[in-house]
Structure 1
Amino acid sequence: MTIAAAASARAASVVRGIGFAVLCYACFSTGDAVIKLASTRFSVFQIAFTLALFALIPVVGLTAGQGGIRAFLPRRWGLVILRGALTATGSLLAWRAFGLLPLADGYGILFAAPMLVTGLSALLLGEEVGWRRWAAALVGFVGVLVMIRPDFATLGLGHLLAALAALTGALGLITLRKIGTSETSASILLVVFLSLVLVTAPMVPATFVLPTWRELGLLALAGLLMGCGQAGLVLATREAPAVVVAPFQYTQMIWGILFGALLFGDRPAPVLFVGMALVVGSGLYTLWRETVRRKVVSLGSSRGEVPARAAR
């Protein structure tokens, strides 16, 4: 193969990776919109339990390229289980928050997770965090404040739950850094969804509402979308470096605004876009600094379970 042909093949692979990423984050946002619709009738425990069962279907398909059933067996059980518990808890908090907030507002707070990782990396991992990343984290925090307009009269349970979900997501990302590239994506994802099943199963009987076939179909669709999104991120990072794929997580904000307007009648205030620009800019700069420092890049603010070693 000539140099030109090799370069063309690499470029085509990156384009495919980006395409997978865009589709994956669209899957996540569509699933979130379905969850918000379902939250008016079902508890978050019943929703999460149903979603997790159906999300496992595409996750199982990952083993086709990762060594069969052995790909589900973690090497570092303690860290993988901790990661699964944190992600399951964060998902429950985020999905409950979506039921109380506009999707765009929820995403704005959740995307504070990478900024929280900056502080937690210094506190828990003893990493040296330079002034540039501290400054980026501060800008992102200001962006979140701009979006939620904290006059204390409008702040409610949804904002608190979203903030806790962001914190839990950040702790999950820290755990994922400790795991590094020693585990298969299939094993990490399996534990995440099994954790959701185990955590929610005891609560389902007390809150169970019999769904119609249409409602069950929508919940199943949301679960499949979540599972396909997670599995798709694995495919995306096989085609393109994680540092190329990761910025497309912010397309969820666009989907949040669109679904909010079309399905829920939300009309975002202009100030939301100012705060969003600050948050996205902060996240992209932090991602760039992580790349320069050759740290593990984690996708999707705890959405993606795919760790990949960043390269220049």
Structure 2
Amino acid sequence: MAAPLDPVIAQIIPLMPMRDPAVMTPQSARDSLRALAASRAAIPAPPVDSVQDIKVKGGASLLDARVYRVGTTPAPTVVFFHGGGWVAGDLETHDRQARNLAIETGAVVVSVDYRRPPETRFPGAFEDAFAAVRDIFDRVAEFGGDAKRVGVAGDSAGGNLAATTAIACRDTGIRLAAQLLVYPVTDVVGAYADARENARYPSRAENAEGYFLTRATMEWFCGHYLADPGHASDWRVSPLRAASLAGVAPAIVTTAWFDPLRDEGAAYARALEAAGVRVKHHEGPGLIHGYFGMGDASDVARAEAQRARADFKALLARGV
């Protein structure tokens, strides 16, 4: 029997943004996530040794990025992609996640601000993510300094970008040590509106609404990211549809039990394992989408996120 919803999380859900796509606009989604981040200002940010704003190469131009360091000795390097349905989210909304990732893995974390739809639709975000990883890999001496310990990480839409970038790295001979996919989007065929496709993943019905992220919101996100519905079957947006996952970087995959994305994330973990990839799946009992950002309030969320980051740290330490 699945664990019940964490009672602390249950109290947080009514306070969460982006729950009504009928009235949501790209700007309102961005503003609401920024406001949520700002509302935590009274809680001290997890302390790191240094934070530096830099530029990295993107698919079409230079991108803003932020580097988090917890020491001065050689370390792994992690390229982090924020969530927000591709449409929202930025360096500020995910500052605490990037800090916790640096603190708990010991890695130099480079958080990348990719282009967002509807201003730039697919494959813009993917192209930015992959170009950024290539640039950071080529400049690794400026970051962690060890090309054998480079990883990618991201949550939600950022998890999607991390997963697809890991595939692209395999295909171009860039050897990553690890990938951390936090409740990732892995299959958008049907854009969450097709009954037959949704039936493949029972969580899309079980958790369609009432737990912060809704299936209708995912439909809204996909409508902004994809200019052509036919793009949904492209592995660069649906990594679960890739012809082969063999040879991609070892992975930590997290899902949340009360999340419409739960089953596609679990399916991706199984597909990686079936392809011979080293993978560990954290199921997130009692938790919802977005729980990596709820550790200040929920002990359950904090502990589950820490377990995943510890496993990611172990993969990074192994190197390639």
Q: Same fold (TM over 0.5)?
A: no
From the two aligned structures, give the one with the greater helix fraction: 1
TM-score where L is the length of structure 2:
0.31
Q: Which has the larger radius of gyration?
A: 1
- Taking structure 1 as the reference length, what is the TM-score of the superposition? 0.32
